[in-house]
Amino acid sequence: MSLTYPGPVVSAQWLTEHLDDMNLCIVDATVHLPDTGRDAKAEYLKQHIPNSIFFDLSDVADPNNPLPRKVPNKELFCAKVGNLGIDNNTHVVAYDTPGLYSAARVWWLFRLYGYDKVSILDGGLPHWRHCEGKLTAQLSPREPRIFRSEKTRDILALKADVLKASSSGDEILDARTPGRFSGDEPDRYPGARPGHIPKSHNLYWSHLLHSETRELLPKEKLMQCFNESGINIDTSLILTCGSGITACILALALDQLGKHDWKIYDGSWDEWGRDHHLPVESNT
């Protein structure tokens, strides 16, 4: 039997009740940047939510792009997720170990290729632990399946799209910390210049989450955060961040508000900040 899709965000209680459902595939999509010194796959092998598999965003990626975790083409994406045991009857629930950091990119990737039966575990692993959810080191590999994509949505922005938007004053929202956005803090990506895309606004992704539970804030609080950023969410938006991960949290929050006219700039600052042919604004 197929699950009734509960929406893009599910609670720890919901997942507890559906942990053993046949059509559910739980994925640990944790990404740790090199400067953290942490190994996401090793942490998964040590402890994870039962029946979950590891969704390696570095593997489900374009192998020909020198930047990490960039969007694979449709054929490669379908092959990769099919090999993970996901087909078009699977409800994917993604989580990560910080609470919500990289899991939203899984939701966006599937959405890009026309598949909507994907949810984010609200609060991720920290909230799951707080709710005394089960944990295990036992692996639950899945048999490969066939996954098909029937369409590609227009929710991906490339460098040329962003340059055009910046030049014309279209709305661009950056999810990085205020210090990195302003250029007052060193950037996390070696070789990237300090600052931000000209005429862009800033909304630090963490401000959309409860400081303790790491759950998404209520809708009225999310709306307040976007309003305070100075962005107009009733027009088309380009969402950017450091490397295309946390911009997806902005997209998830906008989706919760019923706003769907946005694109993720996949290259983000890791690409823009290194390209000295592109303009930069900063306080320095």
Which residues have a catalytic role annotated?
A: 241
Report the alpha-carbon distance of residue 41 to residue 92 in Å, rounded: 19
Beta bridge partners of 237: 171, 262
Q: Are 97 and 30 in contact (CB under 8 A)?
A: yes
The number of residues making up the chain comes to 284
Beta bridge partners of 173: 201, 239
Helix (H) or strand (E) holding 107: helix 103-112
Report the alpha-carbon distance of residue 194 to residue 184 in Å, rounded: 7
User: How open is the CA angle 123-248-232, to the nearest 5 degrees?
Assistant: 110
